[in-house]
Structure 1
Amino acid sequence: MPDATRLTPLAVMILATLREADMHPYELMRLLKERRDDRLVPLQKGTIYHTVARLERDGLLAEVGVDRDGNRPERTTYTLLDAGRHAVEHWVRSELPQIDRPSDFRVALSEAHNLERDEVVALLDRRRALLISSVEEHRAGLGRAAESETPEQFLVELQRQAALLDAEVAWQDSLRARLSDRSLPWGIAEIPEHIQKKHRVSKETTP
């Protein structure tokens, strides 16, 4: 099996979406756009079809049927294999604690519901330690700059980053608290059935 950490963010999102139900690439693209996942990764028809083909070649998903709707071209439906499910989980575990790859973290966060609640809390705790270290580093840098009388106009970017880090820590602490006290529903099993139907989520295809 290929190294899951080398999956592209788009590949992870495709595999994660197939956890919900078998789909053809066009349906995958439509659903991802409907959920506004194009905020996280570019969603282009050619790239999606190419990625699906590569994932099939790597043994992470498999063809389960070919349909034709009227005069439209045939559409191949794919299903997620166990290897693909494990690859998603492994990728999220690898990226969720990181702070140096913001775009990958956003995808990992959007797919964190594929992991158990307690594991997500533990991974976020690891990330918090890195965030705090970075906050302290930025504060120390600003302190040294003040001591050396560095003109503030040269420090505005550093000030911005320090403020963003403070906000990130506060946001993550809030998320962790909601996960820990279970006030935030987590996992497909905790989504009400009428909401599952509305958003095309199915329990039956999850492990």
Structure 2
Amino acid sequence: MSLQIFILGVLSSGHHHPYDIKKMFKQNVLDESSKINDGTLYYNFEVMLKKGYIEKIEVIRDDNRPEKTTYGITPLGKEYLEQEIYVSFKNFTRVDALYSSVLFLKHADPKKLMFLIEEAKEKVQNKIKADTAFWEAVRDETPPAVHLIHDHSLSLLKIDLEWLNKLEQLVMAQQ
């Protein structure tokens, strides 16, 4: 799950400070391996601030609390968000790597997305074909535990393909 896509996607709907975004990230994360710490979060804010993708909107100072900086997305950040959504699909390797992009599909051109989803589906279909051909050649020489592992691996590929088909239907419905 891309943290920068998530941050920019959230900021595209309003101004927020990093702690708000961290809470939203935790609420929207469906993958346990996608955790963020404060260092990673603030580092990403600094990088995007330096590149001009986001801007400081307001610094709130309370007497008893640390200051909070509220950020907003810039026009350059909106362009970057759209391009990064396309890049995440172009570089497809795993479904969970697309989660942030899927949350913010409204910031991308549905026609381009359909093309990129088709490419991702082809990648998965090619993996299934290659895996099946290889398995046919070695199946009889492998112990039962390897059969179990192969079944799981192939099932995951089929689930990814099914998920991409559902995503395609979602994008078509939004056109």
TM-score (norm 2): 0.84
Match of 1:19 among 5, 12, 37: 12
| 2-structure distance, mates of 1:37, 1:163 | 20
For 2:104, give the aligned amino acid.
Answer: E
Match of 2:133 among 140, 154, 161: 140
Q: Kindly indicate whether residue 110 of structure 2 is the aligned counterpart of residue 117 of structure 1.
A: yes
The structure with the greater share of residues assigned to helix is: 2
Indicate how the Cα distance of structure 1 residues 39 and 89 shifts in structure 2: closer, same or farther if over 3 A, else same.
farther
Q: Kindly indicate whether residue 70 of structure 2 is the aligned counterpart of residue 77 of structure 1.
A: yes
Q: Kindly indicate whether residue 128 of structure 2 is the aligned counterpart of residue 128 of structure 1.
A: no
| 2-structure distance, mates of 1:178, 1:31 | 23
Q: Quick one: percent identity of the two aligned structures?
A: 20
For 2:126, give the aligned amino acid.
Answer: S
| 1-structure distance, mates of 2:94, 2:167 | 20
Q: Kindly indicate whether residue 20 of structure 2 is the aligned counterpart of residue 32 of structure 1.
A: no
Q: Kindly indicate whether residue 155 of structure 2 is the aligned counterpart of residue 174 of structure 1.
A: no
The structure with the greater share of residues assigned to strand is: 2
| 2-structure distance, mates of 1:37, 1:79 | 25
Match of 2:150 among 141, 154, 158: 158
Q: For each residue in 1:7-52, what CA deviation from the matched residue of structure 2 results, as whole angstroms up to 9, or x when unmatched?
A: x922221122111101111222222223346746322223212221
For 1:67, give the aligned amino acid.
Answer: I
Paired residues, what number?
175
| 2-structure distance, mates of 1:86, 1:37 | 26
CA contact (8 A) 1:32 1:38 kept: no
Unaligned runs of 5+ in 2: none
Q: For each residue in 1:136-188, what CA deviation from the matched residue of structure 2 results, as whole angstroms up to 9, or x when unmatched?
A: 01111121123x543333332222111221222223223323432x2xx57xx
Unaligned runs of 5+ in 1: 1-7, 187-207
Matches within 5 A, 1:19-98: 19-36=12-29, 39=32, 41-98=34-91
CA contact (8 A) 2:18 2:41 kept: yes
For 2:66, give the aligned amino acid.
Answer: P
Task: Provide the alpha-carbon RMSD of the alignment.
Answer: 2.5
